[in-house]
Amino acid sequence: MDAGTQMVVALIIGIIVLIFLILKTKVHAFLGLIIAACLIGLLGGMSADAIPASIIKGFGGTLGSIGIIIGFGVMMGEIFFVTGAAEKMALVFIKLFGRKHEHWAMALTGFIVSIPIFCDSGFVIISPVAKAISKKTGRSIIAIAGPLAAGLVITHSLVPPTPGPLGVAGTFGIDIGQFILLGILISIPMAIVATLYTQWLGDKIYQIPADNGEDWIRPEKRIADDSVEIKASRELPSGFNSFFPLVAPILLILAQNVIKALKVTGPAATVIGFLGAPIVAVGIGLLIALFILGHDLSRKDALDAMERGIKSAGIIILVTGAGGALGQILKDSGTGDYIAKQIAATPIPVIILPFIIATLVRFVQGSGTVAMITSAGICAPIVASAGGSPMLGAFAACIGSLFFSYFNDSYFWVVNNLMGFKDTKEQIRNWSLTSTVAWGVGFIELLILNFIM
């Protein structure tokens, strides 16, 4: 067996072992990634003493660029959660879009809210608003909550500082600011088409909340009342205070990228460059959220909220670092270079590889975050060696992670249970196909961008 074949076989064995460990044993994804990295290195021909150094280098190099941003982002998300800022955003958009357009308001709410908040938490927070709209207007819950769920998961999967895409960006070594801005643009068509699908499905499966607010009914006669007023469930912060902590860092990052693109110099450019660095901009957003949104929170409540965020981010940080370690093994062993050369000799775009791997891992083990980080760890060195776009390779991994959410994905159960669906076929139509629609649109966008770039 020649060296190239040996490396490919090692990679295949490593992936199979990784999937087996995650699915069939008590081994966590973090440990599974490290074990797979060691196995791929040993079987691929690396010396035993070089493997630990390679793992440490990949782990530290990945987290060095994005670990702090992940921490800031999840702490900000918890402040949004406890203060009601996310619910306020939903009500603002509902008022902005007007009656008969609540589905677009819900889609935009999910689209914005999931940038700092995990999609599971975001849906739990805002689904009561969607349920109230469905009950009062008589529109199917799918048509109202479906766009919310889609908007949440799309930006959760493509736009930092959500930990998954942030980890992918770090693994591919690309600019976080550019990744955020392009991620938002790529997410828009995906959210639009997914929303249109939920409107069509809402006509096929007409389900609304019962009068007691707990059960669900399916009346044969459909009566829509567009004159009702949707009210807040509690006292909420103002619209400005709710949006500002999220908008401010995005504007700072945008300003920094504009300054870079125009090659502006001088003191003002230096200040903007500093404030617009993602680590600084997200930190500023956290401070704004803490002192504007959290001014009514006690010191203990504020600290408890941020500590909950840090706890939820811990495992994401470890898995992200392990994905970087795996990628470093592939790079140092020469596996990435070898596979890149083989792909370069075919007409297949190299960015298809991270998309396919993320899709397969997602389908097999359920977690979109693990899928995209695993794919990034495997494919980043391959894409770089083949001369492909690291930016598109990163988005390919993120988009692939949206494929067919079903029983092994916690979000599948959150969405279906809070929307009152118990039948398996309807659960799949309601959410598995919605996520797959977004996945398909994203893949088309990916091919178009690859052709252009």
DSSP line for 187-248: HHHHHHHHHHHHHHHHHHS--EE-TTSSSEE--SS----TT-----SS----HHHHHHHHHH
Rounded to an integer, what distance in angstroms lies between the CA atom of residue 390 and that of residue 168?
10
d(CA 383, CA 340): 7
Summarize the confidence of residues 440-447 as an average pLDDT. Answer: 97
Range with the poorest average pLDDT among 282-286, 311-315, 417-421: 311-315
Query: How confident is the model over 263-280, as pLDDT tens digits?
Result: 888 888 999 999 988 889
Q: Which amino acid is at 253?
A: I
Q: How far apart are CA 121 and CA 411, in angstroms?
A: 10
Across 55-81, average pLDDT: 82
> Best-predicted range by mean pLDDT among 57-61, 118-122, 197-201?
197-201
In the numeric block, the tokens 């995005």 are attached to: 250
Give me the long-range contacts of 374-377 (CB less than 8 A, separation at least 24): 374/18, 374/29, 374/33, 374/323, 374/326, 375/168, 375/400, 375/401, 376/167, 376/168, 376/171, 376/172, 376/323, 376/327, 377/33, 377/171, 377/322, 377/323, 377/324, 377/325, 377/326, 377/327, 377/330
| pTM listed for this prediction | 0.79
What was the pLDDT predicted at 201?
95
Mind listing the pLDDT tens digit for each residue in 90-130? Answer: 888 888 887 788 999 999 999 998 887 778 878 877 887 88
b/e map 31-61, b = 16+ CB within 10 Å: bbbbbbbbbbbbbbebeeeebeebbebbbeb
- The pLDDT assigned to 189 comes to 98
Please give the span between the terminal C-alpha atoms of the chain, in angstroms, as a whole number: 38
Q: Please compute the mean of the pLDDT values over residues 240-253 and round it to a whole number.
A: 89
Per-residue pLDDT for 437 more than 90?
yes
Q: Kindly report which listed range (8-17, 335-344, 399-408) carries the lowest average pLDDT score.
A: 335-344
Higher pLDDT, 140 or 90: 140
Percentage with pLDDT > 90 across the chain: 31
Structural domain containing residue 16: 3-452
Residues 169 and 124: beta-carbon distance below 8 Å? no
Mean pLDDT computed over 352-356:
92
Res 256 pLDDT > 70: yes
Model pLDDT, residue 446: 96
* Residue 400 to residues 1, 87, 176, 182, 324, Cα–Cα distance (Å): 33, 29, 20, 17, 18
DSSP code, position 376: H
Please tell me the distance from the alpha carbon of residue 351 to that of residue 380, in angstroms, as a whole number.
Answer: 10
Report for 82-96, 184-198, 285-299: range of highest mean pLDDT: 184-198
Model confidence at 142: pLDDT above 90? yes
With beta carbons less than 8 A apart as the criterion, state whether 120 and 81 touch.
no
Residue 297, judged by CB atoms within 10 A of its CB (0-12, 13-18, 19+), counts as middle
What is the widest separation between alpha-carbon atoms in the chain?
74
Q: Which amino acid is at 20?
A: F
Number of domains the chain contains = 1
Residue of 364 and 114 predicted with greater confidence:
114
The predicted structure's pLDDT at residue 224:
61
User: Is a pLDDT exceeding 90 seen at residue 355?
Assistant: yes
225 band by pLDDT with thresholds 50, 70 and 90: low
Q: What is the CA radius of gyration of the chain?
A: 22
Predicted confidence at residue 321, as pLDDT, reads 84
Structure tokens that stand for 185 in this block: 């643009």
pLDDT at 197: 97
CA dist., res. 444 & res. 400, Å (int): 12
Which of 261-270, 383-392, 393-402, 429-438 has the weakest average pLDDT?
261-270
pLDDT of residue 206: 93
Measured between alpha carbons, how far is 189 from 370 in angstroms, rounded to an integer?
Answer: 24
What's the mean pLDDT when you consider all of the chain?
86
